[in-house]
Structure 1
Amino acid sequence: LVIVELLLFSGLYEEALIQFEKIEDTDFQAMYQLGVMHYDGLGTKEDPERGVEYMKKILYSDAPEARHLKFAAAYNLGRAYYEGCGVKQSTEEAERLWLIAADHGNPKASVKAQSTLGMLYSVSVLKDLKKAFFWHSEACGNGNLESQGALGVMYLYGQGIRRNTKSALECLREAAERGNIYAQGHLVEYYYNRKFYSTAVAVAKR
């Protein structure tokens, strides 16, 4: 399996696909990789329906060997439902699957799902800024860069939480230092509006 994954990471998708298909019945990691490859069209014609089926097999399997892949499979299934790709579009089903993947903020679960829920509750028909703040906080605590920038903005404008400029700047500065362009942009705006022009320029140059 390690050799096959090296083929995948080297961009030899067609060969990796052939090797993964040989062991998919006995190896859930191979099944997961095949799901991703079919969904995104890596080494094969794009077939999101087939990719979805692989992810469902993992998510609903009772095999102990599938347990460590369930969070990632649930995240990917949520993505499919949100995009309406391979399945009928359903924001509600995407939410349900992402909540499974996020597992109450468990750092060993899908941090992508935690951050995505923060975004989902910020902008979708399910808009709930308190929930958005909660999930961005969980994802940020688990190291997610995008959620750290989003938290800074929520603190800055009092979205889902009481306005707190000190906490906002802490989040935004740290996210900006880590390379988050979203956070850098908001810092530039913040400094510029307060006439700290040299600081705004310094941040903008990044």
Structure 2
Amino acid sequence: MEPDSQVASQEQIKSAERILEVLKQVYPNEDVTGDGEASENAVCTIDTVSPIALLERAEKFLRAKEEHGDMQARFLLGQIHFEKHQYEEAFRAFDSIKDQDVQALYQLAVMHFDGLGTRADPGLAVEYMKRVALSDEHVKYAALYNIGQAYLQGHGVKPSDSQTERYWLQAAADGNPNACIKAQTALGMFYSRPESLDLKKAFFWHSEACGNGSLESQGALGIMYLHGKGISKSMESAIYCLKGAAERGNVYAQGHLVACYYQSKVYAKAVALAQKIIEYKDIQAIAKTTGCLPEFVAKGIAIALFHYGRCLQLGIGISQDKAQAELYYAKAVKMDAEVSKEIQMAITLGKI
């Protein structure tokens, strides 16, 4: 499908940029792309040379370095293989230096988790992640997050909320922007669960993560302000957070913004935004691009579908079309039955 090819192209570009940036730092005075220029200018070539060509040039350069015993070059070769989905080659490269290179050990753990280039072995993956977490390398924060996720899901270890909390708190590092922002958002979600409910802690962690750039937490804060969960209710703050998150691509925030416009009787705005959202097709691609959970992307689309159907049914903000309204109600239910049921209940009770 066309959207998939577009996403793949973007991933290739980002991959090339990441690898060239690392090469620039490791080999600042060398011609890493074979164009006769030192690596400080290498990133500029991405505008004129295809990402795959850049990766091939980098691979040739690194192989020459590897032949002279450069372990960093071997790790980077593994990364190139990984980005090109050549998982068996990547696995061999990482495995050969796992005892000398913490980043290689981390990548091996990821591959054992997902069964890439080797059989899936989540128990060994957690063991490797724990070894990485004991290091002083920055990658330890990502390892701590993944260990917490493994305990949450019971993936390679016995499920344990207390262990999940413990490892995510270490990964979040008191809101340090240089730690794992994903863990900070995860803690906000963790403390919003019925099993571990503490909305003040949820608000705290979403605030920390939002301040550090988390798009998902920015949307979550808007919803917490909207309903007065963990913080005093504030429509002004809710709209501010939801608009900011929506503009950055948070679909869950966009859906709630449609609902806010509808409830405020600004029907034209509700319809205009809903018409944009209901065209979204590839939930997984959107989730990957925005860093938001797929289930919340789906919920945002369902909210938009249902409210758009409501506007069509009543002829508010758009010409009345009851047949089309039924179609969009059905799409909303298919997208997320629980969300649709909640909205319908609110309508029945006269809350909307």
Q: TM-score, length-normalised on structure 1?
A: 0.95
Per-residue Cα deviation, 1:79-131 (whole angstroms, up to 9, x for no partner): 00000010000011000000000000000000000000000001141100000
Q: In 1, distance between residues paired with 2:108 and 2:201?
A: 33
Q: In 1, distance between residues paired with 2:272 and 2:230?
A: 30
Q: State the match for 1:144 in structure 2.
A: 214
Q: In 2, distance between residues paired with 1:117 and 1:73?
A: 15
Q: Does 1:67 align with 2:137?
A: yes
Structure 1 stretch displaced more, 171-180 or 1-10: 1-10
Please give the secondary structure, in 2, of the residue aligned with 1:159: coil
User: What letter is aligned with 1:119?
Assistant: M
Q: State the match for 1:203 in structure 2.
A: 273
Q: State the match for 1:58 in structure 2.
A: 132
Please give the secondary structure, in 2, of the residue aligned with 1:67: coil
Q: State the match for 1:84 in structure 2.
A: 154
Per-residue Cα deviation, 1:14-56 (whole angstroms, up to 9, x for no partner): 1100111111111000000000110111122111001001001
Matches within 5 A, 1:104-123: 104-123=174-193
Given candidates 230, 234, 237, the residue that maps to 1:167 is 237
Q: In 1, distance between residues paired with 2:230 and 2:172?
A: 19
Given candidates 176, 184, 190, the residue that maps to 2:246 is 176
User: What letter is aligned with 1:73?
Assistant: A
CA RMSD of aligned residues (A): 0.9
Does the 8 A contact of 2:102 with 2:137 survive in 1?
no
Q: State the match for 2:116 in structure 1.
A: 42
Q: In 2, distance between residues paired with 1:17 and 1:205?
A: 45
Q: Does 1:15 align with 2:65?
A: no
Where structure 2 has 5 or more consecutive residues not aligned to the other structure, the ranges are 1-74, 277-352
Q: In 2, distance between residues paired with 1:177 and 1:205?
A: 15
Given candidates 163, 167, 179, the residue that maps to 1:97 is 167
Q: In 2, distance between residues paired with 1:101 and 1:150?
A: 20
Given candidates 82, 100, 113, the residue that maps to 1:26 is 100
Q: In 1, distance between residues paired with 2:85 and 2:194?
A: 35
User: What letter is aligned with 2:275?
Assistant: K
Stretches (4+) displaced over 3 A? none
Q: How far does residue 4 in structure 1 lie from its aligned partner after superposition?
A: 1.4
The higher radius of gyration belongs to 2
Please give the secondary structure, in 1, of the residue aligned with 2:124: helix
Percent identity over the alignment is 57
Structure with the greater relative contact order (CA < 8 A, sep ≥ 6): 1 or 2?
Answer: 1
Per-residue Cα deviation, 1:137-165 (whole angstroms, up to 9, x for no partner): 00000100110000000011110001111
Q: State the match for 1:6 in structure 2.
A: 80
Q: In 2, distance between residues paired with 1:115 and 1:102?
A: 9
Please give the secondary structure, in 2, of the residue aligned with 1:68: coil
